[in-house]
Amino acid sequence: MAALISGAIDLGGTKIEARLFDHAANTQDMRRVPTPRDNFDSFLAALVGQIRWLEQVAGDPSLPVAISIAGLIDPRTGIATASNIPVSGRNLSRELGEALGRDLPLINDCMAFAYSEAHGGAGEGAATVLGLILGTGVGAGFVIRGDLPPRHAGLAVEIGHLGMPARALARHGLPIWPCGCGRDACNENYTSGTGLRRIAEWAGLSDPDPVHVAGRAATDPEAARVMEIWADLTGEMLYSAQLMLDPQVIVVGGGLSNIPGLPERLTGALKRLRLGQVSLPDIRIAAHGDSSGARGAALMAKAGKA
């Protein structure tokens, strides 16, 4: 086995994935276990088990390991907030440290994804990289000249919970849909995989599966219309990101990144919406797929950035 540099945990609502990486940041070994969601004790035991597995396979009890988490950790209090992991209201960092006998950094998964793609990924060489994950929900991270910016409350780029502009919904006659966060008409209600399915159902498609809708768009006018609506609304979301962050490159990951011709589709939507004739960001597909968040966490752990 190639010399190992670090390990990472990709911690999500369905799986706890452990990965070992070599000096070239390539995966050398990987193990997944289901995420226990019934109680915190079972969850913590599964997480500790994955970290011990990394240490054992690497033969190094002090192996640098970072955890990419689908949630937020308040940097002042250490209190976690997550929707699909039983950690909300707990100081996960402290309790994990007590169980392991050492402290490990926890990093928001979207920020880890952006860091990965800025270092040897699709955003390599760009001064500013927005890593956008379009999956069941929507999230993003931001890297400036290779580093994560300081964050006061532990937030990533919570673009999924900005409001979709009324003008965009009115263009298509779409209703205001409530979001799981407690607000109405959040971006992810319309631009995520779940949102694309909702639009397809609203349009009356008999098969609203997002992958099938995207696949039929070239030959089915109804599917094509759904994809045009989705791209227009996603363009509105990217327009907001450009006005606020002005990224040089937007790297797209998540399940919807597999839509054929996605960069061209989203670039066209953003071009129609942009402010004046300002330069557009370059939209690219993630180079490291669904392992990119873990890869970013491992890179940060090794570099002492986390």
Domain boundaries, given as residue ranges, for the chain: 4-111+290-303, 124-286
Cα dihedral value 9, 12, 17, 23, nearest 10: -40
- Would you list the DSSP string of 236-279? HHHHHHHHHH--SEEEEESGGGGSTTHHHHHHHHHHHHSSTTPP
Please report which helix (H) or strand (E) contains residue 241, including its range: helix 221-245
Q: What does DSSP assign to residue 103?
A: -
User: CA–CA separation, 51 vs 306, rounded Å?
Assistant: 17
Q: Please check whether residue 13 is in contact with residue 85, taking contact to mean a CB–CB distance below 8 angstroms.
A: yes
End-to-end CA gap in the chain: 26
pLDDT band per the 50, 70, 90 thresholds, residue 1: very low
Average pLDDT over residues 32-46: 95
Please report which helix (H) or strand (E) contains residue 61, including its range: none
3-state SS class at 127? coil
| 163, pLDDT greater than 70 | yes
**Each residue's pLDDT tens digit, 197-236:** 999 999 999 999 999 999 999 999 999 999 999 999 999 9
| 90, pLDDT greater than 70 | yes
Average pLDDT over residues 261-286: 96
**Each residue's pLDDT tens digit, 119-152:** 999 999 999 999 999 998 999 999 999 999 988 8
Distance of CA 231 to the CA centre of its chain: 19
Q: What is the CA radius of gyration of the chain?
A: 20
pLDDT band per the 50, 70, 90 thresholds, residue 5: confident
Q: What is the pLDDT of residue 296?
A: 96
124-286 and 4-111+290-303 share a CATH fold: yes
**Each residue's pLDDT tens digit, 177-208:** 999 889 999 999 999 999 999 999 999 999 99
Q: Which CATH number describes the domain made up of 4-111+290-303? A: 3.30.420.40
Fold of 124-286: Nucleotidyltransferase; domain 5 (3.30.420)
